[in-house]
Amino acid sequence: MKNLFFIICYVAFIGAFAQDTKQATMEKRALELHRVIGLNDKEQWKKFMNENYTKSFLERPVRTTVKTTDKESTTSSSAKSTTEIFEEKLKLFERLHEIFGKSKIISLKPVDEKIEMTIENSSKAIGTFSITFENKKPYLIDGVRAEVIQP
């Protein structure tokens, strides 16, 4: 009976530790995304994407939605090759850098299998990022959804 108690405690501890490791890894990748957005270095953006994005995310076409007070428009990538898709993702990184190159994190919190990160620049533009991750180690980024609200 005593051994059963220790086994149950051990399994519970390992499960909690694994979840903490996953959450810590997800938070670390989100913080690194923010740091790299602040860099004005295309090579660092490429390096970040190659080291932190899943292969399927790197190959997934870019889709953007622009909302204004009177209308909403969605565009999907017309890129065919992985190289073209990668270049479009770099352009999005550049746009994020232009808006949030000098920003601070307002909040960073796990929500289910995602990290929700809110950042703000000096002009009070706010970016809300929903970052999804693969469900197994090394918990790479499998999607980024950003909503930008400019004053």
Summarised one tens digit per residue, pLDDT across range 23-34 is 999 999 999 999
Return the top range by mean pLDDT from 69-78, 80-89, 125-134: 125-134
Average pLDDT for 94-111: 95
For residue 120, pLDDT over 50 is answered with yes
β-bridge mates for residue 73, sequence order? 66
* pLDDT of the residue at 81: 84
Q: Are 91 and 79 in contact (CB under 8 A)?
A: no
13 or 79, greater pLDDT = 79
Q: How confident is the model at residue 149 (pLDDT cuts 50, 70, 90)?
A: confident
Alpha carbon distances (Å) from 114 to 24, 73, 94, 111, 148: 12, 26, 23, 5, 18
Average pLDDT for 44-64: 93
Average pLDDT for 38-59: 96
* pLDDT of the residue at 20: 63
Q: How many CB atoms lie within 10 A of CB 113?
A: 13
For residue 61, pLDDT over 70 is answered with yes
Q: What is the pTM of this model?
A: 0.80
